[in-house]
Amino acid sequence: MPRAAYRFFDAPFVVETDSAAFLAQFDAAYERFRAEEEAGAPVYRVTLAGRPAAEIEGETWRSTDAEALSTYAYNALLNAATARVCSHFLFHAAAVIAPAGSGVILAAGAGLGKTTLTVALLQRGYAFLSDDVAAVGRTDGRLYPFPRRLGVRVTGGRPGEKRLLDVTEIAPGSLSGSAGSGCPARFLFLLTDASEPATNFRYLVLDRADEGLLADLRAVSGVQAVHAAQSQPYPVLWVDLARGAWPTSEPAIQALCRRREVLLFEATAGPAAPPDFSVRPELTRLAATGAAQALLGHLKGGPRSALLDQVFGGSATRLYLALVGLADRMVCYRLRVGRLDGMIETIMATTSELEKLSAHVPS
Summarize pLDDT for 280-311 with one digit per residue, the tens.
999 999 999 999 999 998 899 877 789 999 99
88 within domain boundaries = no
pLDDT tens figures, 128-157: 999 889 999 999 999 999 988 776 665 566
pLDDT of residue 245: 86
Query: Amino acid identity, residue 200?
Result: N
Residue 271 above 80 pLDDT?
Answer: no
pTM strictly above 0.75: yes
pLDDT of residue 11: 97
pLDDT of residue 234: 84
Residue 46 above 80 pLDDT?
Answer: yes
Does one domain contain both 132 and 146? yes
Does one domain contain both 186 and 216? no
Does one domain contain both 35 and 71? yes
Of 18, 48, 82, the residue that ends a domain is 82
User: What would the mean pLDDT of 178-185 be, rounded to a whole number?
Assistant: 76
pLDDT of residue 147: 83
Q: Which of 77, 74, 88, 67 lies closest to 43 in space, CA to CA?
A: 77
342 within domain boundaries = yes
Which CATH number covers residue 225?
3.30.70.260
87 within domain boundaries = no
Residue 175 above 60 pLDDT?
Answer: no
Does one domain contain both 282 and 259? no
pLDDT tens figures, 316-348: 999 999 999 999 999 999 999 999 999 999 999
Q: Grade residue 169 by pLDDT with cuts at 50, 70 and 90.
A: low
Domain span holding position 351: 94-195+275-358
Does one domain contain both 64 and 98? no
Which CATH number covers residue 289?
3.40.50
Residue 221 neighbours by CB under 8 Å, 6+ apart: 245, 248, 249, 252
Distance CA(355)–CA(102), nearest Å, equals 7
Residue 359 above 80 pLDDT?
Answer: no
Percentage of residues in the chain having pLDDT higher than 90: 63
Of 40, 59, 82, the residue that ends a domain is 82
pLDDT of residue 363: 46
66 within domain boundaries = yes
**332 vs 32, more confident:** 332
Does one domain contain both 59 and 120? no
Helix H segments across the chain? 20-30, 66-82, 114-122, 167-170, 211-218, 246-259, 288-298, 306, 316-328, 340-358
Does one domain contain both 109 and 216? no
Average per-residue pLDDT for the chain: 87
Of 18, 50, 82, the residue that ends a domain is 82
Does one domain contain both 220 and 184? no
pLDDT of residue 200: 76
